[in-house]
Amino acid sequence: MAATVFYLDEVPEPGAVAVLDGPEGRHAATVRRIRIGEPITLSDGRGVLAASEVVAAHRDRLELVVRDRVRSVPRVPLVTVVQALPKSDRSELAVELMTEAGADAVVPWQAARCVAKWEGKAAKATEKWRATARSAARQSRRAYIPEVADLHHTGDLIELIRTAKEGGAVVAALHESGSARFTELPFADAAEIVLVVGPEGGLDDTELAAFADAGATVTLLGPTVLRTSTAAAVALGAIGALTTRW
């Protein structure tokens, strides 16, 4: 079984001693009760993985000697998920599922029909998504923690879609009215994929028209209507099977 992954800002070279403290150290020492001699994989969340062994355990931190260190190659195509803000009880679930399913970047989006509103609390809510992505990346033993962008509004998203298309990305706006089948999009040949997931109320006609005009393909993901909190994970699974990501 692979060793548990914990994150450090900087992972030292083999032979050096690393100190795992802060929230990660408390989780490892207090919650997981990891002890001397146990193996741990350290990562910087940006691709570095280091096989390490605990040499000292304290109440809220661990000391580890690094045995080996490698750099993981990012999966291609890279996938960015634009996630309309779900209702509060499903907000972190959406981020957790898409992180475990392999999202490389997450963009929170204040869509027209969002029940949730981040006005006045966007910074705090974004940090909560980042913490959720970090925790889910640890759970799934990822070398890369998805980057969570600042809150986007529809104008920002239109510009993101236009720029991504100019760079050769496949942009798919998931909606039940889509005439294009998800499995028919050229994901295997793309360097980057952008998935746009609407809110509980769905994408409205103005948004759909603007996204299509900017270069997005309005596409039907599958035969059933999914919750906004699960759609991205299902789409990422399909992309994994349709490309070399898996």
pLDDT at 2: 59
What is the distance between the alpha carbons of residues 60 and 25, in angstroms, rounded to a whole number? 6
How confident is the model at residue 1, as a pLDDT? 44
Strand order in the sheet with 180-181: 147-148, 105-109, 78-84, 192-197, 170-174, 217-220, 180-181
Distance CA 179, CA 150 (A): 31
| 19, β-bridge pairs | 63
Q: Where are the alpha helices (DSSP H) in the chain?
A: 22-26, 88-101, 122-139, 154-166, 205-214, 228-242
The highest-level CATH class for domain 4-71 is mainly beta
User: Which pLDDT value is given to residue 112?
Assistant: 95
Structure tokens of 91?
């907000």
Per the structure block, which two tokens stand in for 144? 């890369």
Question: Sign (positive/negative) of CA torsion 226, 231, 109, 140?
Answer: positive
Tell me the CATH number of domain 78-242, given options 3.40.50.800, 3.30.360.10, 3.40.1280.10, 1.10.3720.10: 3.40.1280.10
Distance (Å) of CA 216 to CA 36, 50, 100, 187? 52, 39, 25, 13
Mean pLDDT by 10 residues, the chain (246 residues): 82 96 91 92 96 94 96 95 93 97 98 94 96 95 97 98 97 92 95 96 93 96 91 97 95
Q: Give span(s): CATH 2.40.240.20, the chain.
A: 4-71
pLDDT of residue 3: 72
Return the pLDDT at 4.
83
Residue 100's pLDDT is what?
A: 97
